[in-house]
Structure formats: structure tokens, C-alpha cells
Structure 1
Amino acid sequence: MSLADDLKAPLRNADRFFIGGKWVEPSSDSTIEVTDSTTEELFFRVAEAQAPDMSRAVGAAREAFDEGPWPRLTHAQRAEYLRAIAAGLRERTADIGQIWPRESGVLHAIARGGGKNAARTFEFYAGLADTYPFEEPAQPTVGEFGLLVREPVGVVGAIIPWNAPMSLITYKIAPALLAGCTVVLKCSPEAPGEGYLVAEIAEAVGLPAGVLNVVTADREVSELLVRDPRVDKITFTGSTAAGRRIASLCGERIARCTLELGGKSAAVILDDADLAAAAGTLSSAECFLSGQVCSSLTRIVVTRNRHDELVEALAGTFSQVRVGDPFDERTQMGPLAARRQRDRVEGYIAKGIADGAVLATGGGRPADLDRGWFIEPTVFGNVDNSSTIAQEEIFGPVLTVIPADDEAHAVALANDTVYGLNASVFTPDLDRARAVARQLRSGTVGHNAMRTDFGIAFGGFKQSGIGREGGLEGLLPFLETKTVILDGRPADYA
């Protein structure tokens, strides 16, 4: 029986890999089952890459970069392919709306916009073909004429997590392709569907062979991608623990890497903030992807004299969240992505209780949902900032409220973490918000909301990563800078 016989996902080639511009047979019969996070039923099966498959994908990308047309096209020519991919994403937006909720638990109301959002990102990077200075004159201290040239870094290994695959695929491969790189896209075993969908679009638009290669693999085979000397750069989104391993392997061979890692982000509630509004905003934000977001504001820091009031407000708003089927328009929060993810979150909740934090609401499974990886929205109060639930990334809908002595202490507590991905300041005073924001050691700081902006740049301080994604900053990691010094001016600079 072909894997396609029991395929429920809107994909045509999940039993193969997209390598060298073709759908190729895997080297083994090994497969991965992708489970619907709401029903716990089989969604589809996908071929699992082994060492020969990964090597074949890397070889195709290497050949496409060294010998193929892609790096030798103009940026404008490559931009036309990006625009074609954008059009393909818009055409497949309904399919994305089916795949993402079933794999990861996001609401269908959000997922159905994923294709359009991804398309806009491809179009943004296509637009840089006309505006970014990939080559510009420079006055050398020796010689007559200098050029500062920005060229593609080479073969890129892009490793994608399971929580928001399409968005993360887009912010990696769109700038990489514009730069002239070739890519091996390694999909997550829990959520490979969007990667395969992008491969189908790449095939449909006639992307040159080997420019984009798509495989799904678990950790051991994924590490072969990181180790392979034919790969010039790794771009990774995932846990800080995995990021440390990737950085160490890249360091062994001085490979370039961009790492978008974990977070334990703080919301600093100043003494003039509207607590009811803050509670509503924080509860609503944490519903997105059931809290399975690295930038979630899960550490709520507030002065002691307002602590109890905020905990009560959060418990009131978060406990009212409607948890259920992500395809039901009434649902406000769906399931977690997998059984092991729910087990992880439940383990942290148990640890919080054991360590003496006050469970204000939640902590269990919804009583009316006997299938699916659901967890109740959970709030802890009186959390010690040194405790496990205050310091480690839970990756679920669990808020921890931490009391502070005053504003300075709140800032110190917010910064007292190995992470530095996101933060927010809650106050009606713009100048005060800006002043506190500048004191927070975080890649992004929002105001009165959970805010990140990939149109500007996204990434973290400290152990939240290396480099930035999104916007113009997200193009730079896929470029190498070359200095050219000539004895005179070329004709087009005369």
C-alpha cells in the first residue's frame, strides 16, 4: 500500500523527498506518523530521511550552488521566482489552514491567514532586489577604486520546528533564495506538512533543480546536515539546548549559523498600569498556539502591593478562555501539539506546585475534552524568580506572576534569566515605557501588549540566540561581504 492511500493531508508526495528538483524515493521504508493534535488520530505519514537521503539532498544543493544557474542569476531574476512562490502560497492558503491546526493546535481562524502572510514575506524580499545595495563603490586606502560586494553565503541548511512551520520556513528560505543561496530544508517530524507544501509550490513554479531540497528527519540524521562540510550555513529555530549543540558543531568547522532559540519573556507591569486591561491582554496573547511560542510573555513581574490584584484578574480572564477544537469558531485556544508536549507542561505544573507557587487557576486537563492534547490555561502567583517555572521555558499556556519590591527591582527580575528574546512594559506613560524598555536585555520590547515584528527584525539577546530574522536584518546572515580593489573604475562606474 502506498503511503498516499491513507493520506488525509492535502499533499501529493509525502512518501518521497524533494531533492534536485524531483520527488525521489527514500533510501528506506522508515516512516513518521503525524498525528492530529485534536483527535489523536493519524493525519498522514511521511518518509523519514536516513543518512543517504540527507547526503543526497546536500549534494543536490551543493551542485546547484557550484554549477547551477541560481547564484549566477541577477537578483531581479531570482525575485521573479520569489513572486511566483508567493502566488503559489496564496493559492494553497486553504491547505495551510488545514495542516497547521492539525499538526500544531493553532486555531483555524489564525491558520487560514498563514498563506497570505507568507506570500507577503516572499514579496517583501523580492522587493529588496531593486533596493538593497548588493554592490556599492567604496574608496580604498590603496588602489584606485573599491567595491563592497555582498554575495550569497552558499549552501544553507534550514532546520524548522513544529510550532509555526510556514512562518519560519518563509523567514529562512525567502531571504536565502534572494541572496542566491541554495537550501536543504529539514522539516520537523511532528509538523512536516508545510515544508512539503512549499516543495510542491517550488516544483510548480519551475525553481531550478537543487535550489530547494526538502526532507524530514529526526535528530540523529539532522545532525548530519549540521556536520556536513558541504553546508556553508545553518539557520535554526528551536530550543536553546539544541541550539547549543548546533553552535558547537558549527564551531568545529567555522560554519556560519543563525540561531533563534528559546525564551522566558517578561511583562513588566508598572505601578500606573491598568491591571484589568493588562490581564485581558496577557491572557489573550497566551492563547495563541496554546502558549507554544518562544516569545510568549509568561513571566509577569509586578510590585507586591499590586500582586494579588493582578493574580486575581489573570485568573479571572484566563479561566474564561474557551478551550477546544481549533476548527470551531467559538474556540479561543486549541490543543498542544503532541502527547509529549502535554506531558512536559504537566510536569512543569506539578513542579510549580511542589515548589510552593500558588496555583490560581487551571493546572489540569479540561474535563469535557477526553481526546486531544488539551491543557487548562494556568496561572501561578507568588512565584519565586529563581524557581524552575520562572526560569525554564514551559512552552504551554502557563503564566507565572512574580512580585517585585519596586520598578528597579522589577527590571532586575525581568533581566534575571539566561534568555532575552521578548519583553513588554505595561504603563500608559510613553516616556516611562521607553525608559524601561531601554533597560531590558531583550531582542524585542513591546508596550502594553505582546508584540514582535518580523518586518523590522526578530531575535534574542543572551541564550535566546544569535542573529536576526525578518526585515532587512534577516537578509544579512545569508550574505558574505567581499572587498574588491581595482586599478581603475569599471565602465558602469565611469
Structure 2
Amino acid sequence: MFDRNDLYIGGQWIAPVDGGSVDVIEAATEKVLGRSALAGPADIDAAVAAARDALGGPWVAMSRAERADVLERFAAAMAARAKETAELVSRENGMPITLAKPTNGYGPSAMLKYYAGLIRAAQDEEVRPGALGGRTVVRSEPVGVVAAITPWNYPQPLAAMKIAPALAAGCTVVLKPAPETALDAFVFADAAQEAGIPAGVLNVVPADREAGAHLVAHPGVDKVAFTGSTAAGRAIGEACGRLLRPVTLELGGKSAAIVAEDADLTVFADHLLEVSLVNNGQTCHASTRILAPRSRYAEVVEAVTETVRALRVGDPLDKATAIGPLVSAAQRDRVLGHIAAGRADGYQITTGGGTPADLPQGWFVEPTVFAGVDNSASISQEEIFGPVLTITEYTDADDAVAIANDSKYGLGGTIWTSDEECGLELARRIHTGTVGVNHYALDLTAPFGGVKASGLGRELGPEGLEPYLAPKSVYFATR
């Protein structure tokens, strides 16, 4: 059992005051994996107070180089725990271990080191000559207390995408992870203690939605950074709008994979798992709408169907597994509901469509392909967040772009072509935050985020540091 009975607040392990606890269930076995402390409103108050007190302590007073040193120690402490953390996350949410190791295992360490390097090379102040004489000193100061609210699908890297730049900027953080993956969140607290991060700079308080809403609206919070569903993001955005509180929202997606006329289908099929079904389909940027040219439609359907049919479904800790279980019974039932809706609408299932008969335990769903799907169908428009793909026919490049853009979302996307310049030209026309050409993988050095219902703001890259810094102008008259 992986029991974590206390919250991490103000550098100490503290039992919940008005919260409680929650069982974390192993996705592949449906058995209790461990029990986690759960914060209530009073515990959230204590965490925010600790974070505010820490703003007056040594963390903000450190130079950027000194903070970078601490972040590098934090990165090393996270890396030392990478293998165990990856296995824990795989058991919590069903992510195949071959994906969990680089993302949940070593991803946080890489982000901490990256932002340590960024701040080490930067300056707190810039002197600018005034347009009408005089000069201005432009300072970059930490925005303050950050509420970081993270989901269960990539719990470690999505938390690190907030923690690393926030701490690098000199902010303090209250991390509220999802209850489904509460256990692995405490690894950040363990590593922070080992690295010597001052008390109150990082606080870890798993909580339910009600306590999370209390955190978002808390008067002691200066910025909110959220990753999760679009519905939850809208509610958080509305609350922050009323409070005039800066917010970063990384939300849902329903991305398209445009298979061009000249695409090498072997390359596309070889990458299908990692771009369209990654993490059992529980990935916001996954290219789950496959757009096939009319001239090669049958070829694409066959290639996708055969590739998906061959994927091994099973124990996420087995290195041979391509598709593991979904995170919960509720998520499994939600995905099966979408499959039933697609079937009821008359669309053809070429493979999958149910639960594996040989896996009676665990929240498994067969990887499923729908062919001949109109882009207006609910299975093409709604984020399913499971191993379900749709294939839609297009006539020419303009039609493909129009279909790709015919979505309320705009987070990811891919172009598959033998002509990279053609791929770049198509990518320029897709209304989305990120696009891959014959490939898709987040890059630490480049901004990630969406447009439309996929969110506000960007994470990663130098752009991911900016939301945690508040510019201040100090004006001087001409001498």
C-alpha cells in the first residue's frame, strides 16, 4: 500500500483539518493501491497562508543563480525517484510503462533543469532609454502565490510545467493534484524537502472540486494555472475574470491528422500509436480525427484498422503493452457511451468497439476505429478521451483544412506528407496552437497551448516563464 496520510503544507507533513482521505484505485486491477490525504477548505487556507508567508522569506530574496542551484538539486532529487514514480503513475492511471518512464519519470527533472538554465542566463532588470529622454528600469518580479491545478492523465509533467517556471520566477506554489493520482504528487514534496526548498515555497494538497474551487477564488492567490477539461476551464476562467486574476488554461482538444495525397502510409502507421492513441487515448492533443484523401481513402482505412487491431492491450507495467486501462470506471463508461453513440448514428466500426473479453478486471476499452464518419458527428466533435479514432474523407487540400478547422477545439494536429514544405504550408493554415509534420512531440524549448476552446496562454519554452513574472517600470527623469 502506498498510503500518504498527511498533506504537505509549510514544509511540514500535516493531517487534514477539515478534509479527509481518498482511496486511489489501481486501474488494471480495480484494487486499492493506497490511500491519500484529501484537503478541505481550511487546509487550502493553510496552504495559501504558508505560500504567502514564504514570499517574505529567503526564496524571493535569492538571486536567480541561487534559485537555479536549488532547482537543479530539486531536479536531481526527482530524477533519483523517476523509476518508482513512473511505475506508481502507471498503476494509478493505466499509462503504459514505456510512456510513463520518459514523461512521468524523467519529464519533471528535465523541466526543472531547463528553467534553472533559463533564469541563470537572465537578468532581473533591464535599463531602457526613454523615448522623450530619461530612462526606465524594467524589473521582472514574481507574480506571487500560484495555484497549480493538475489532472490525472499526465500528473507529473503537467504539474512540473507549472511548478518549474513558477519556482524559477521566484513564486510560491500550492499544488492541487487530482484525487485519482494523488499519491504520485507527494513525490514533489519528498524531493523538495531533500533539495532544501524553503518551507512554504511548494505545498501539495490533493483535493476534490469543491476545495479546488475554494483555491481558485482564494484572496491569497495571485495566479491560477490549470490543466483539465474545457468545462472546468470555463468555470475557472469566469472566476478569475471576476477577480481580475491572471490565469493559464490548458484545456481539451479534438485534433486532426491530415494524411496528404503523397503520404507514406508506413510512416503514418508506425507513428499512429504515439500521435493518436498515446496514453490509451487519454491525451488532450492526440490526433484522433484522421482525414484521408478520397483517392487513398480505402488504403488509409486499411492501414489504420490493421495497425490498431494489432496493438497489444493489457497490463500497463508490461513493456509489450501498447494500450492499458483507462483511469476509472467512470471514464471507461464515458468512452463506451461515445462508442455506442457512434454506432447508433450508423458509423462503421472496423475494429474494437467494446471491452476485451480476456481482461475481466481493470477499466479496459478496446482501441476502436470508426470509418466513413462525417465531421459533424458527435464522435468527431466531442473529446472522447479514450482509444477511439474516426476516419473522415476529404476531396482536396482546401477541404482538408476546412474539416480540420471545423472544431471548437484548437490544441494539436499533424500533417503526413512526403513534402515537408507542403506540410509546413498546411500547418500554417490550421487554426491550432501546435502542429506536427510527420511527427508530434512536445518540445521543452517551444510554447505549448491552444486556441478556441482549447485554452488560454502557453506553457513550456521561454513563453512558459513569462506568466509567472510581473513587469515593473521604474522611471527616471533626464539628468
TM-score, length-scaled by structure 2: 0.97
TM-superposed CA distance for 1:456, in Å, is 1.0
Deviations 1:35-66 (A, max 9, x none): 0001110001111111111111111111111x
Matched, 1:413 2:403: yes
**Identity percentage of aligned residues:** 46
Could you say which residue in structure 1 is the equivalent of 2:437?
Answer: 447
**SS of residue paired to 1:216:** coil
* 1:319 maps to amino acid: R
Q: 2-side partners of 1:171 and 1:277: how far apart? A: 30
Over 3 Å counting, the alpha-carbon distance change for 1:287 and 1:411 in structure 2 is closer
Q: 1-side partners of 2:438 and 2:19: how far apart? A: 51
Unaligned runs of 5+ in 1: 1-7, 490-494
Query: Which range moves more in the overlay, 460-469 or 135-144?
Result: 135-144
Q: 2-side partners of 1:447 and 1:25: how far apart? A: 49
Deviations 1:444-483 (A, max 9, x none): 1111123332321110111111111111111011011111
Number of equivalent positions:
478
Matched, 1:391 2:381: yes
**SS of residue paired to 2:413:** strand
Could you say which residue in structure 2 is the equivalent of 1:458?
Answer: 448
TM-superposed CA distance for 1:279, in Å, is 2.9
Q: Which runs of structure 2 are paired with 1:262-273 in the superposition (5 Å)?
A: 262-273=252-263
Q: Which runs of structure 2 are paired with 1:69-468 in the superposition (5 Å)?
A: 69-113=58-102, 114-142=104-132, 144-468=134-458
Matched, 1:35 2:25: yes
Please say if residues 34 and 46 of structure 1, whose CA atoms lie closer than 8 Å, have aligned partners that are also in contact. yes
Q: 1-side partners of 2:120 and 2:180: how far apart? A: 38
TM-superposed CA distance for 1:230, in Å, is 1.1
* 1:73 maps to amino acid: M
Q: 2-side partners of 1:405 and 1:467: how far apart? A: 34
Please say if residues 294 and 393 of structure 2, whose CA atoms lie closer than 8 Å, have aligned partners that are also in contact. yes
Deviations 1:145-176 (A, max 9, x none): 21121111110000010011110111111110
Q: 1-side partners of 2:219 and 2:401: how far apart? A: 43
* 1:135 maps to amino acid: E
TM-score, length-scaled by structure 1: 0.94
Please say if residues 282 and 450 of structure 1, whose CA atoms lie closer than 8 Å, have aligned partners that are also in contact. no
* 1:38 maps to amino acid: A
Deviations 1:243-286 (A, max 9, x none): 00000000011000000000000011111112343233224533
Q: 2-side partners of 1:141 and 1:287: how far apart? A: 53
Please say if residues 283 and 314 of structure 1, whose CA atoms lie closer than 8 Å, have aligned partners that are also in contact. no
Query: Which range moves more in the overlay, 285-294 or 254-263?
Result: 285-294
Q: 2-side partners of 1:344 and 1:326: how far apart? A: 21
Query: Which range moves more in the overlay, 364-373 or 329-338?
Result: 329-338
Matched, 1:484 2:446: no
* 1:373 maps to amino acid: W
TM-superposed CA distance for 1:425, in Å, is 0.8
**SS of residue paired to 2:258:** strand
TM-superposed CA distance for 1:329, in Å, is 2.2
Q: 1-side partners of 2:252 and 2:154: how far apart? A: 14
Q: 2-side partners of 1:298 and 1:397: how far apart? A: 9
Q: 2-side partners of 1:295 and 1:399: how far apart? A: 13
Please say if residues 445 and 451 of structure 1, whose CA atoms lie closer than 8 Å, have aligned partners that are also in contact. no
Over 3 Å counting, the alpha-carbon distance change for 1:244 and 1:116 in structure 2 is same
**SS of residue paired to 1:149:** strand
TM-superposed CA distance for 1:488, in Å, is 6.7
Q: 2-side partners of 1:385 and 1:287: how far apart? A: 19
Please say if residues 68 and 120 of structure 2, whose CA atoms lie closer than 8 Å, have aligned partners that are also in contact. no
Please say if residues 276 and 310 of structure 1, whose CA atoms lie closer than 8 Å, have aligned partners that are also in contact. no
Q: 2-side partners of 1:354 and 1:73: how far apart? A: 61
**SS of residue paired to 2:179:** coil
TM-superposed CA distance for 1:29, in Å, is 6.5
Query: Which range moves more in the overlay, 266-275 or 36-45?
Result: 266-275
Over 3 Å counting, the alpha-carbon distance change for 1:301 and 1:29 in structure 2 is closer
Please say if residues 19 and 40 of structure 2, whose CA atoms lie closer than 8 Å, have aligned partners that are also in contact. no
Could you say which residue in structure 2 is the equivalent of 1:46?
Answer: 36
Could you say which residue in structure 2 is the equivalent of 1:492?
Answer: none
Q: 2-side partners of 1:409 and 1:25: how far apart? A: 58
Q: 1-side partners of 2:279 and 2:99: how far apart? A: 9
Over 3 Å counting, the alpha-carbon distance change for 1:248 and 1:284 in structure 2 is closer
Please say if residues 324 and 334 of structure 1, whose CA atoms lie closer than 8 Å, have aligned partners that are also in contact. yes
Query: Which range moves more in the overlay, 443-452 or 417-426?
Result: 443-452
Please say if residues 19 and 43 of structure 2, whose CA atoms lie closer than 8 Å, have aligned partners that are also in contact. no
Please say if residues 179 and 475 of structure 1, whose CA atoms lie closer than 8 Å, have aligned partners that are also in contact. yes
Q: 1-side partners of 2:398 and 2:273: how far apart? A: 25
TM-superposed CA distance for 1:143, in Å, is 5.5
* 1:41 maps to amino acid: K
Q: 1-side partners of 2:44 and 2:478: how far apart? A: 46
Please say if residues 256 and 413 of structure 2, whose CA atoms lie closer than 8 Å, have aligned partners that are also in contact. yes
Please say if residues 287 and 332 of structure 1, whose CA atoms lie closer than 8 Å, have aligned partners that are also in contact. no
Q: 2-side partners of 1:280 and 1:77: how far apart? A: 45
Q: 2-side partners of 1:111 and 1:241: how far apart? A: 27
Deviations 1:6-41 (A, max 9, x none): xx23x6xx1111111101121146211100001110
Over 3 Å counting, the alpha-carbon distance change for 1:428 and 1:188 in structure 2 is same
Deviations 1:102-156 (A, max 9, x none): 1111112232333333212111111112222432111123552211211111100
* 2:253 maps to amino acid: G
* 1:102 maps to amino acid: R
Could you say which residue in structure 2 is the equivalent of 1:3?
Answer: none
Unaligned runs of 5+ in 2: none
Deviations 1:87-107 (A, max 9, x none): 101111122122110111111
Please say if residues 446 and 452 of structure 1, whose CA atoms lie closer than 8 Å, have aligned partners that are also in contact. no
Query: Which range moves more in the overlay, 121-130 or 261-270?
Result: 121-130
Aligned CA RMSD, in angstroms, stands at: 1.5
